Each structure stands twice: as C-alpha cells, then as structure tokens.
Amino acid sequence: MLQVTFIRENFEKAAQGLEKRNIREAQSLLRQVVQLDDERKGIQLQRDQLQAEANSISKSIGQLMRSGNHAEAEKVKSRTAEIKQQTKELETAYSEKELELTQLLYTLPNIPHESVPTGKSAEDNETIFTHGNLPELSESEKLPHWELIKKYDIIDFELGVKISGAGFPVYKGKGARLQRALVNFFLDEAQKAGYMEIQPPILVNEDSGYGTGQLPDKEGQMYFATEDNLYLIPTAEVPITNIYRNEILQEDQLPIKNVGFTPCFRREAGSWGAHVRGLNRLHQFDKVEIVHISRPDKSYAALEEMSTYVQSLLKKLELPYRVLRLCGGDMGFTSALTYDMEVFSAAQERWLEVSSVSNFETYQANRLKLRFRDENKKTNLAHTLNGSALALPRIVAAILENNQHADGIKMPSVLIPYLGFEWIQ
C-alpha cells in the first residue's frame, strides 16, 4: 500500500509512476488521497481541540469545587457531557474517513522503479539476458508435453477431471517421482544459498491476504472457503511473508531469507486456448518460493542476487532461458520491479514463464506493518521481495519436450541422484 506521506512529498513522481502502469486518472486518484487525508486530519484536529477543552474544564471543576462554587461547577459539568458526545461523533467520523482512505489506497498499485520500461502488455517487456542454445528437434521427436505424458503414462489429466475437474492433473509413476525430485533439488539448492526452509499453512485468513496484496481480489483468482473465511494460497509468498506481519525486527536480523514448498491454487478464470493447454496453466500446481526481507538500501542488490540464484537453477537443469524486465503494463499489482525468467519449449516453439522475481519495496511492508529498528533506534518500513524458485509445471513441460528422443526422455544429470533413473521410457 502506498504511503500518504510519500504521495504528498512526491506527488508528480507518484502520478508519473501510475501513468506508467497506464492508469489515466492517476492525478485525480492521488488528489482524492490527499483530500481524504486532509479531511481526516481536520477531524483529528477537532477531536484534539475538544480533548484539550475537556482537560481544561476538568481542572476548572476541581478548582470550583474546592472554592465552594458548586453551582458554577455543575454548570461547567454540563459542557463536559456535550464534549463527550461531540468527541464520540468525531471518533465515528474519523474512523469512517480513515476506512474510506484505506480502501482508496488499496486500489492503487505500487509505483514502478525508474528502470521499468513503459508499455501496455507482455509485448513491451524488455529482454535483458538470454542463455543457452535453443534445442532443435526432428519432426518425429517434436511431441508437445501433453502427448508425451500420454505416451509414457506419467501424468493423467482425465483422472484429475474425474476427481476434481479440469486443471487438476494426477502425477503417476515416474511423473510423480520427477515432481518430488524437482522439489527436493530446489529446496536443497536454496538451503545451500542460505535460505531457511519454512513449511507454512496453505490456507490463510483475510488479514494475510490483505497484508501481501492478494486482497481485495479484483480478478477473482483465489479459492475461498466461505464457512471458515479462509483462502487457499496462490503462492507460498503469502503465508511466509505474513510471518513478519506486525513485527519490528532488529537490524542485525536482516536480511531474512526464507524458502518454502507448497501447492498453489489459482482459479485462472477465463483462461482458454492452446497457450494454456496441458501443464501450461493449472488450478493446482507445486512451487518452491523464496522470500527476502531486506533493508531498503540493500533491496535491489538482493533482487539481483535472487535473479542470479534462479538462473543458476535453470542452468543446472540445462534449460535455455531468457530474463525479461517487465513493463509498467505487465507488472504485478504490488511490484516495483519484476524480472521474469522464461524457458524455451522446443516442441511448442515458444517461451514459457517459470519464475517471477520481484521487489515490492515498502508496498507490502506498509500493509503488513513490517518494520525494523536501525542503529539509531528509529523504526523504518522494511523492503520485501519474493521469487519462484521454481514453479514446477512449465519446468516439467520444458524438460519433457526439450529432452525427448525416439526411445525416451533423458533426464537432466543434476536430477538423476534424486530420481534414481536416467530415462523416462
């Protein structure tokens, strides 16, 4: 959530940032924020003045009673009753104005970092790095993963439909072992890189959803357990980052580096077409997530560190990939800067997003009330970051497609100790 003080002190910068996200009414929305804050402060001032008057009257009543002027004291007491009623009304008005301001701030996305390119969609994203040679497959070995999984009977979408519905695959045999191998490989690598493993709940309350910016859920992407008022997580970012909600950390605790493996749930409403076929888009999938809590002056170095780490995983899996800097129109609501990592799918002949690594600066921390105390004993909002390291479905799709041969699918060498086999045949 944007800070009102930031908007006041950097009005033009905030407006330009929102305009980079293609929000045309940016200045109007920011003026509404300032106006609501002025009205809130005006109510606060009235309330403070009444409180000062009440304190003064309380002293005068005591003096009048001690001097024996009881009649005058009773007269003054009647004003005290009026002040109490007026204060109560002002407290209600203040709460209503504060709620109105908060709800407006919830609708405003984060301000993009100055390096974020201008653009409206994925076509305007900036490619900043490419690694590896694109695999070339013969026409006889160019099966998309949704045909490969049937050929080798390792993932069953029809069973998933029977049990749950579309978008809930069942992993079988070597398909299930490949999933487990990838999870263990990602977690082991994260531990080597200094991340502490967390196993969080996969259902979260409303406060957690608001804390990291998934709520209000404008796109209807979250599954909701209505009876218990709990949400199925779309990513481990939500429960792990919320560990630090309403916390004041000590500076020597930073940076905090956590990693967690969870299933993830997304309704993906309105997703149709060949680009979402097979494992390309699911309602339930597995993902290993890294979360970083940082000092503000070190968060962009942390972002580069996270990007380099995710790329190291893709290199070890022998997958060709590229890194994109997302444009203003394609960035997530809460992000200030996002790098996407995409792997090349040889059979589909296109790039598949497998990771997003983002710096949210103070946007989430302001919602979470996540602060740290610096060397001068002053409390400051921390910066939060997170990234996929990695999401499994498209990694599996790329491994299957890129390594297919006439007699089977060769597994990346780094996974063989986890799998116990070299080929899917």
* 95 annotated to a ligand binding site: no
* 394 annotated to a ligand binding site: no
* 355 annotated to a ligand binding site: yes
Contact 3, 30 (CB under 8 A): no
Q: Tally the C-alpha atoms within 13 A of residue 32's C-alpha that lie toward its C-beta.
A: 15
* Residue linked to tokens 């005058």: 72
Tell me how far the alpha carbon of residue 369 is from its chain's centroid: 15
* 226 annotated to a ligand binding site: no
* Residue linked to tokens 């380099």: 308
* 5 annotated to a ligand binding site: no
* 8 annotated to a ligand binding site: no
CA angle 182, 232, 229 (to 5 degrees): 165
* 281 annotated to a ligand binding site: no
Q: How far apart are the first and last CA of the chain?
A: 51
* Residue linked to tokens 């609708």: 107
* 353 annotated to a ligand binding site: yes
The number of helices, as runs of H, and strands, as runs of E, in the chain is 13, 19
Tell me how crowded residue 69 is: count the other CB atoms within 10 A of its CB: 14
* 354 annotated to a ligand binding site: yes
**Dihedral angle, C-alpha 227, 232, 236, 237, nearest 10 °:** -70
Q: At what angle do helices 70-106 and 26-66 cross, to 10 degrees?
A: 160
Q: What is the DSSP letter of 164?
A: T
Q: Tally the C-alpha atoms within 13 A of residue 236's C-alpha that lie toward its C-beta.
A: 25
Query: How far is 326 from 273, CA to CA, in rounded Å?
Result: 23
* 294 annotated to a ligand binding site: no
Residues at the binding site for ATP are 266-268, 353-356
Binding positions: 235, 266-268, 289, 353-356, 386
Q: List residues forming the annotated binding site for L-serine.
A: 235, 266, 289, 386
